[in-house]
Amino acid sequence: MPSFVKAIGPLSSTLHGLVISSVLLSAAVGSLCAGSLSDTLGRTRAIAIGALVFAVGAAIEAGSVNLVMFVFGRAIVGIGEGLFFSTPVVYICEISPPQKRGLLAYTMQILVTLGLCLGYFISYGTVRIPSSLSWRLPLALQSVTAILMAAASSFYLPQSPRWLTYKGRRDEALAVWDQLGVLTAEREKDDELEQKEPTTASRELAGRNQPWKQQVASAFKIFRKDGRKQMALGVFMMGMQQLSGIDGVLYYAPLLFQQAGLSSTKASFLASGVSAIVIFAVTIPAFLFADQWNRRSSTSYGGLGVFACMTIIGSLYASDSVHANEGGGRWVVIVAIYIFLVFYCMTWAGGMKIYASEIQPVATRAGATSLAQSANCITNFLVALTTPIFLASSSFGVYFLFGGASILTVIVCTIFMPETRGRSLEAIDESFRQPNVIHFTMPTTFRKVMSRVASRYQGPESRVSSTSRDVEMDTLAVPS
C-alpha cells in the first residue's frame, strides 16, 4: 500500500521478510510460556490473557508512526498469539467426547480460515482509502476482535473439567461435565486417570508452596519418560507443518502470483483473496468429516499431494517453462498453488494441530502442545524470513525444499503415527505407555492394495490368512 510506504518507509526484500516474520519469533517465545500459564491459571484464563496481549500489540501497530514502533507492536502481537493460540485446541480436546473431538477441534480451523478470508477482502476494500487509514483500520479491527475474544473466554467459557480434576477440584469438574452434557463413561475414565496419578495432582496443588527451583523443574515435566514419545512426535509434526510452505504461500501470495505472470497489483491481490476463499471452502468438508477420516491416512495422503504440487511448480520454474506473457506454464503454476492449498487445508491444517494435542498426557498436554506450537512458530519464522530471499535468488529452489520436507514428514508419520480417531484421550495415552514399541502404520487403502498384489503370488490358504490379518491388524508394533 502506498500510504504504508509513505508512513513507514520502503522495505527491501530482506527487511520485508524481517517485518513479516517478527511476529513469529516472539510468538515462539510466548508459546514456551503458554503451557505453564495454562496449567497454573487454567485454559480459559490463559486464552483471555493471550488475547488481551494480542489486542495491545495490534493497537500499537495501528497507531505506528515509524518502522520501529510497527515492529515492536508486531512483537507484542506475537507474544499474545503464542500465549493463546495452542491453548484453545487443548481446551477443546479436553471437553469433547471422543466421537466428536475432531469435529469440535476443527471449529478453530474454520474460524481461522474465515478470519483469513475476511482479512484479505477487508484489506482489498481499504486499499482504496487515500489516507493511512487504509492499513490502520484492519489492524484496529484485529485489536477489537481480540478484546471480544478475551471477554468471551473470561465470562462465558467454563474451565476444562479435566484440568479441574487434575488440580483436585472434583466438585467443580463434575458441575462442568453436567453443564457440557458429557456421558458418565467419560467421567469414569477421567476418575481413573486421577487415581493413577494422585501424587502428580498433589504436587500441582502444592505448587505455590514449592521452592522456586522445584517450580522451574516442574516446567520440564514434558520431557519425562511417560510423555517423551508424544511430545517428540507432536513437535516434529507441528514444525514440519510449516515446512510444507503454506505460510510462504499465504504471506507472499501476491508476490507468487506476480512471479507467475499476473502483473497487475490489483489482479494479484484479488488472486490472493481467491486463495483465501478456496482455503475457507475446502476447510468446510474437512470440518464435517474430521471424525470420519483417519488422522493417519489424512496426514499421509495430504503430504503426498503437497509434495506433488511443490515438485511440479519447482520443475516448471527449473526448466524455464514459466513466462509472464505467454505459454501455459504460468497457469499450471497458479492451478498447482490452488491444488496445494486444497490438499493442505483438507488434511494438515487442522488435523496436525488436533493430533499433536490429543496424543499428550493430561499432565503435560498444555506444556507439550505449547512446545509444539513454539516449534511451529520457529519454522514459520524461518519460512517467512527466507521465502522472499529465496525467490529473489532462485525461482524454483524453495519449492523443492518444501516438497522434500513434505515427503520426509509422510515417511516419519507413516512409521510412528498411531491412529487416534474415535479413541478416548486416556486410551491414546495408554497406547504410548507400552515400553520399547514403535508404531509402524500404513494407510488402510495402501495396505489393502499391497495385500492384493501379494495374494496373486500366494496359494488360496495364504490368501485367506493374509486377508484376515488385514482386517484384524490396524497397527503393527515393531520392537524399537
Flag whether pLDDT at 373 surpasses 90.
no
Task: Tell me the pLDDT tens digit for each residue of 193-210.
Answer: 545 544 344 444 444 444
**Ramachandran class of 327: left when φ > 0, alpha when ψ lies in -120 to 50, beta otherwise:** left
pLDDT at 198: 44
SS3 (DSSP) at 398: helix
Instruction: Give me the DSSP letters along 34-103.
Output: HHHHHHHH-HHHHHHHHHHHHHHHHHHHHT-SSHHHHHHHHHHHHHHHHHHHSHHHHHHHHHS-GGGHHH
* Structure confidence at residue 7 as a pLDDT band (50, 70, 90): confident
477: β partners: 439
Task: Tell me the pLDDT tens digit for each residue of 144-181.
Answer: 999 999 999 988 888 888 888 878 888 888 888 888 77
pLDDT at 86: 77
Task: Tell me the pLDDT tens digit for each residue of 351-365.
Answer: 888 888 888 887 788
Q: Report the C-alpha gap between 241 and 314 in whole angstroms.
A: 19
Task: Tell me the pLDDT tens digit for each residue of 259-281.
Answer: 666 666 555 665 677 888 888 89
Q: For 243-253, what is the mean pLDDT?
A: 78
Q: Give the whole-number percent of the chain exceeding pLDDT 70.
A: 76
Q: For 54-79, what is the mean pLDDT?
A: 92
Task: Tell me the pLDDT tens digit for each residue of 406-424.
Answer: 999 999 998 888 888 878 7
Q: For 188-197, what is the mean pLDDT?
A: 50
Q: For 88-112, what is the mean pLDDT?
A: 83
pLDDT at 60: 94
> What's the DSSP call for residue 364?
T
Q: Which has the closest alpha carbon to 278: 330, 343, 348, 351?
A: 343
pLDDT at 200: 45
SS3 (DSSP) at 440: strand
Is residue 320 within a helix (H) or strand (E), and if so which, with residue range? none
Range from 116-130, 346-360, 420-434 carrying the lowest mean pLDDT:
420-434
pTM of the model: 0.72
Is residue 477 within a helix (H) or strand (E), and if so which, with residue range? strand 476-479
Give Dmax (Cα) for the chain: 79
Q: Report the C-alpha gap between 226 and 236 in whole angstroms.
A: 18
Cα–Cα distance list, 239 to 35, 80, 306, 335, 371 (Å): 17, 20, 15, 26, 10
- Of 27 and 209, the structure prediction assigns the larger pLDDT to 27
pLDDT at 149: 92
pLDDT at 474: 43
Q: Report the C-alpha gap between 416 and 228 in whole angstroms.
A: 13
* Structure confidence at residue 344 as a pLDDT band (50, 70, 90): very high
Q: For 226-254, what is the mean pLDDT?
A: 83
Flag whether pLDDT at 99 surpasses 80.
no
Q: Report the C-alpha gap between 388 and 394 in whole angstroms.
A: 10
pLDDT at 189: 54
Cβ distance 374 to 24 under 8 Å?
no
What the block records as the C-alpha cell of 40 is 497454573
Cβ distance 248 to 384 under 8 Å?
yes
pLDDT at 202: 42
- Of 439 and 206, the structure prediction assigns the larger pLDDT to 439
Cβ distance 124 to 131 under 8 Å?
no
Task: Tell me the pLDDT tens digit for each residue of 441-471.
Answer: 445 554 555 555 555 555 544 444 444 444 3
Q: Report the C-alpha gap between 147 and 195 in whole angstroms.
A: 39
